[in-house]
Amino acid sequence: MKKIRCIVIEDEEVDRLMLQHLIKQQNILELVAAVDSAECAIPFLDNSIDLLILDIDLPEKSGIEIRKNYPKIPACVFVSSHPEYAVDTFELDTLDFISKPLKKERFEYTIHKLIDFFSMKEKSEYFDILTGSHFLKIKEGHNIVQIKISDIIYLEALKDYTRLITAQKKHCVLSSIGQILKDDHFSNFVRIHKSYAVPKHLITRKNSYEVVINSNINLPIGRAYKDNLSFFDS
């Protein structure tokens, strides 16, 4: 896999230096710049950046605003001393949220998620063909894989890609979750969040902020999608 080009935007010098240190220990990462504000980051943000690592409390423009302004950057990781901000980042294309103080073990967990994401991004291809009402076929590298739609536990959006989660394996296709849900074969799925859609029959319980599917998987409910779950209350 090619190196992941990243930029750090962090106004606290100690945290910025710590992030630089952690990044340099990861051969997969290439640090393009480490700056203390959005203004200082502008010259680098259009320079083939793969990953944003940024604080939320920044001078002039927050990390959330920066992410909204640069949605084409494939991956984003937020760091913050305010874990309550994590809920707001769920509505963005966020790969991970790291609470301060920064720790090596937690950062390495994020790196594993990054490698997984970019590995699938390189290998994935477009949805191929759907066959009948129970199966779909996708391309994975040079192979064509057939998946039973009834085996899909949930869909997870990864920017322009969608991960199909089954009990056996995670498959990834180059198609947005919104586009997938337009297909009649997924009429039993309900969008519960910008990043998630689930089969209605697998929802076992819910509260105001999350649903539980298959009795053991907790997924967040996005504010804009709460009405989609009104059927479960009736």
Contact yes or no for 75/114 (Cβ under 8 A): yes
- Among residues 136, 133, 178, 141, the alpha carbon closest in space to that of 159 is found at 178
Report whether CATH 3.40.50.720 matches the domain 123-233. no
Q: What is the pLDDT of residue 155?
A: 95
Helix (H, G, I), strand (E, B) or coil at 180: helix
Domain extent listing, the chain: 4-102, 123-233
pLDDT, residue 219, reads 94
What class, spelled out in words, does domain 4-102 have in CATH? alpha beta
Distances (CA, A) of 145 to 85, 128, 137, 138: 39, 10, 6, 5
pTM > 0.85: yes or no: no
Burial of 166 from C-beta contacts in 10 A (0-12 / 13-18 / 19+): middle
Residue 58 and residue 11: Cα distance in Å, rounded?
A: 6
Give me 98's structure tokens. 């790291």
Q: What is the mean pLDDT of each run of 10 residues along the chain (234 residues)?
A: 91 96 95 94 86 92 90 90 81 85 94 85 48 67 81 88 88 87 86 93 90 89 92 74
